[in-house]
């Protein structure tokens, strides 16, 4: 049983090495097919012009901060009030994006239960 396991591991190692060699050869082949294009050299007296790049939007990971939630709520208050099919006023939940309905002074999400007092 030890020999078969050892043979399996040895065979797996050889297979992995062969796979890496094929991948490396393929990468070299593609680099040979596409010769580098001539890049125009700048004159020594000129400063290189950088093309204006639009600012990248930062992608957040994780929950929103309280400040961000309050900013979104203030923006939502400034916008026109949203009304659902039944004629009830609602807001968009900052946590999950579903509808929040007013219950007294409290806005409660119908999906996740997030709430806040208005």
Query: Which residue in the block uniquely carries the two structure tokens 């290189």?
Result: 48
Give the pLDDT score at 58.
63
The CB density around residue 72, as the number of other CB atoms within 10 Å, is 14
The CB density around residue 107, as the number of other CB atoms within 10 Å, is 20
Give the pLDDT score at 73.
80
Contact 111, 96 (CB under 8 A): yes
Whole-number Cα distances in Å, 45 to 6, 27, 41, 48: 66, 38, 12, 10
Contact 93, 64 (CB under 8 A): no
Contact 112, 96 (CB under 8 A): yes
Domain ranges (residues) in the chain:
66-117
- Report if pTM > 0.75: no
Closest C-alpha to 72, from 21, 28, 104, 116: 116
Give the pLDDT score at 1.
47
Angle (nearest 5°) at CA 27 between 24 and 32: 125
pLDDT digits (tens), the chain, 118 positions:
456 777 777 777 777 788 778 878 777 766 566 555 665 565 565 665 665 665 555 666 778 888 888 888 877 666 667 888 888 888 889 889 899 999 999 999 999 999 999 7
Residue 76 to residue 115: CA distance in whole angstroms: 15
């Amino acid at each position: 049983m030890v020999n078969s396991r050892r043979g399996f591991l040895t065979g797996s190692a050889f297979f992995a090495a062969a796979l890496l060699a094929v991948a490396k050869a393929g990468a070299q082949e593609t680099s040979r097919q596409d010769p580098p294009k001539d890049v125009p050299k700048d004159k020594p007296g000129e400063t290189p012009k950088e093309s204006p790049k639009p600012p990248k939007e930062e992608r957040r990971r994780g929950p929103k901060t309280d400040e961000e939630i309050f900013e979104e709520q203030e923006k939502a208050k400034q916008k026109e009030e949203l009304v659902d099919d039944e004629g009830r006023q609602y807001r968009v939940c900052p946590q999950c994006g579903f509808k929040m309905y007013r219950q007294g002074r409290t806005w409660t999400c119908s999906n996740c239960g997030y709430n806040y007092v208005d």
